Amino acid sequence: MPELPEVETLCRQLVQTITGQTLLEILTLDSKLPDFPDLIGCQVLHVNRRGKNILLSFDDGQVLAVHLRMTGRLLWQKEVTEVPQYTRLIMTFPTGRVFFIDPRRFMTIQEHSLSPCHGGGVDPLLDLTPKYLAARGRTRKGSIKTFLLDQSVIAGIGNIYACEILHQAGIDPARPTHRISDAQWLRIVASADKVLNKAVACHGTTVSDWRDFHGNEGTFQHELCVYSRAGLPCPRCGKTVLRCVIGGRGTYFCPGCQI
């Protein structure tokens, strides 16, 4: 679930909540996840986002890369409470606990120096340019939608925002990447900027179970134009939004204004 806006929201909230705090205890509850005994007693120096990864930097130089995949969540609790269902790991700090929650157990937590964040694509909030995308997309024959999801090209866009960005840009998600014109690359960059920044401001999209660090829903689901709206009218042109499958992923688009 968590794409760039959701991960960015969590990172900002983590910065506010745990930077400068000393890790008192780690409890791993899922055998798929490692133990981190060396981190006990270390202080959190920074929290950063890289694509959809959350990087936790500690004062001894260790960096943890947390990836939430489909259903991962982080939840902060100041008071001692019951452990939420599907909690896979717990970090205890002086002022509260961080619960790492994930029903599907896809979440990964790795020592960053051992396995540097996969991908390497540019951050769409920082470095995205039409020129870069045109150069990377020139030889790609697959759909533009699959291209936008390639984390080695752009780090952070997922299925919801790929659909929304292409709607905003007025481009058919099935269009072969090498057929995208310069004018369309320009629109894609402008649309990515607009959609992602708005979604960050909204604290993400809660379509089923996304919650932020404090358990609150995002509000960008009220701004969606096509995602999960099959059968409903396009807010721009009124045509009925359709669903198809591209690259194995459910894809929503408006046949009236995406060409």
* Single residue of 206, 213, 225, 229 touching DNA by CB under 7 A: 206
Residue placing its CB nearer to DNA in the complex, 57 or 159: 159
Q: Which helix or strand (DSSP H or E) is residue 165 part of? A: helix 159-169
Residue 3: active-site member = yes
Task: Provide, for the chain, the percentages of residues in helix, strand and coil under a 3-state DSSP scheme, each rounded to the nearest 5.
Answer: 25, 25, 50
CB 216 within 8 A of CB 21: no
Residue placing its CB nearer to DNA in the complex, 44 or 188: 188
Determine, following the binding rule CB under 7 A, whether residue 140 of this chain makes contact with DNA. yes
Task: Tell me how far, at minimum, the Cβ of 13 lies from DNA, in Å.
Answer: 17
Residue 52: active-site member = yes
Determine, following the binding rule CB under 7 A, whether residue 142 of this chain makes contact with DNA. yes
For residue 125, give both structure tokens: 């909030």
| Residues 6+ positions from 179 with CB-CB distance below 8 Å | none
SS3 label, residue 160: helix
Determine, following the binding rule CB under 7 A, whether residue 235 of this chain makes contact with DNA. no
For residue 26, give both structure tokens: 């780690």
Determine, following the binding rule CB under 7 A, whether residue 1 of this chain makes contact with DNA. yes
Residue placing its CB nearer to DNA in the complex, 69 or 112: 69
* Single residue of 51, 99, 169, 241 touching DNA by CB under 7 A: 51
Residues 166-205 that bind DNA (CB under 7 A): 177, 205
Cα 179 from Cα 187, distance rounded (Å): 14
Cα 245 from Cα 173, distance rounded (Å): 10
For residue 154, give both structure tokens: 């752009």
Point out the residues that are catalytic.
2-3, 52, 249
Interacting residues with DNA (CB under 7 A): 1-3, 32, 51-52, 67, 69-71, 103-106, 118-119, 139-142, 146, 149, 151, 158-160, 177, 205-210, 247-250
